[in-house]
Amino acid sequence: MGGNYLDRKAIAKIFRCEHLDQEKCTVEMLKILHDNKAVCPHCKNQLEEHKRKRFFENRMVNCSTCGKIFNGVSKTILSKRNPAKIFLYCFLKGNGFSRTEIAEIAGVSYPTIKHFDDLFDFLETKDRE
């Protein structure tokens, strides 16, 4: 898979408490989100090997083809969101927790969890097309 699809069950399988460290959970989710492929979100060009590490560490890189500057979360579901909360949501949802339980555990509102459900369902459907 890859693209803008983040498989909740894949997150649930690899979950460890240390992933709630924002940096660590971001790195793990980037590997799944990008299917271990580092490409420019603007021109879709494959990044050179020396830029891959920075990309998967969510550090800024520039594309040699189009010149744009970005990081691993640019133009993804993780952009402008708390990666640790997304990771926790994926783990809990992948293990069958209800919206109410997830909201309580994650310390967010029920509508926020409903929004995540709707967003992930949309992205999963879009990725299959």
pLDDT digits (tens, 9 = 90+) for 44-78: 999 999 999 999 999 999 999 999 999 999 998 88
Query: Percentage of the chain surpassing pLDDT 70?
Result: 88
Cβ atoms of 86 and 29 closer than 8 Å? yes
Question: In the prediction, which pLDDT does 44 show?
Answer: 94
Burial of 128 (0-12, 13-18, 19+ CB in 10 A): exposed
- Is 53 inside a domain boundary? yes
- Is 3 inside a domain boundary? no
- Is 77 inside a domain boundary? yes
How far from chain centre, in Å, is Cα 114? 18
Question: In the prediction, which pLDDT does 19 show?
Answer: 62
Could you tell me the pTM of the whole model? 0.67
- Residue 70 belongs to what H/E stretch? strand 69-70
Tokens of 127: 């990725």
- Is 89 inside a domain boundary? yes
Question: In the prediction, which pLDDT does 18 show?
Answer: 60
Q: Which domain holds residue 53?
A: 8-128
If one counts the domains in the chain, the total is 1
- Is 109 inside a domain boundary? yes
- Is 48 inside a domain boundary? yes
- Is 1 inside a domain boundary? no
Q: Where residue 7 falls among pLDDT bands split at 50, 70, 90?
A: confident
